[in-house]
Amino acid sequence: MARIIIMGPPGSGKGTQAVHIAKHFGVPAISTGDLFRAHARERTGLGLEAGAYMDRGEFVPDHVTTNMLKQRLEEVDAANGFLLDGYPRTVMQIGALDELLAMRGQALGVVLALTVPDDELVARMLLRAKEQGRRDDTEDVIHRRLELYRDETQAVLTAYVQRGILLTVDGSGEPENITAAAIAAVEKALVP
């Protein structure tokens, strides 16, 4: 059973890697962004609540995100594991995830963090902004997003380092090489 979290700064290729890694381990890749969009599209109570915060440009509160995740983890395809992308983002969410897993008699297996130098992240995001016509992704905005990511996730990374389950993989280079390195690291960590 693979129960994995993937983390990485904006532009690290985390979403792409999540799909490949999850497929390799035969578990669903569960993204909080996808959960928000699905709930909003289906106009669920949680989706309407989350939408009200997002419409104001505010973060969706932990309890809403956690309830969405709880429902998703109860689906059949997540019975034998999952790969979480975008959760947990706070220490409070770590505790909520621990509780959700404990209720299922499960524990988290590994946390995979992709590391990429800032100059490469900025170059990737500027290229993506140009290709997608996103004028709002300026170099200053990108640097701010990277700063917010670090501020937001440092305590989460530290908590998982203390548990001895954080792996780091170099997220630079060719995507298929990063996938191979990530899968090898996770397989090694999950061997009893």
Catalytic residue among 37, 104, 130, 134: 134
Report the alpha-carbon distance of residue 166 to residue 79 in Å, rounded: 23
Any idea which residue has 């298929």 for tokens?
Answer: 176
56 labelled catalytic: no
Report the alpha-carbon distance of residue 164 to residue 42 in Å, rounded: 39
Report the alpha-carbon distance of residue 36 to residue 50 in Å, rounded: 7
Nearest to 49 by CA among 62, 31, 100: 62
Report the alpha-carbon distance of residue 26 to residue 2 in Å, rounded: 8
145 labelled catalytic: yes
104 labelled catalytic: no
Are 28 and 35 spatial neighbours (Cβ–Cβ below 8 Å)? no
Question: HSE (CB half, 13 Å, CA atoms) of 113?
Answer: 18
134 labelled catalytic: yes
41 labelled catalytic: no
Catalytic residue among 3, 14, 72, 124: 14
Residue 92: alpha-carbon gap to chain centroid: 16
As given in the structure block, the two tokens for residue 116 are: 């990429």
Catalytic residue among 128, 144, 163, 188: 128
Beta bridge partners of 113: 7, 168
Catalytic residue among 3, 72, 89, 124: 89
Q: Known catalytic residues?
A: 14, 89, 128, 134, 145
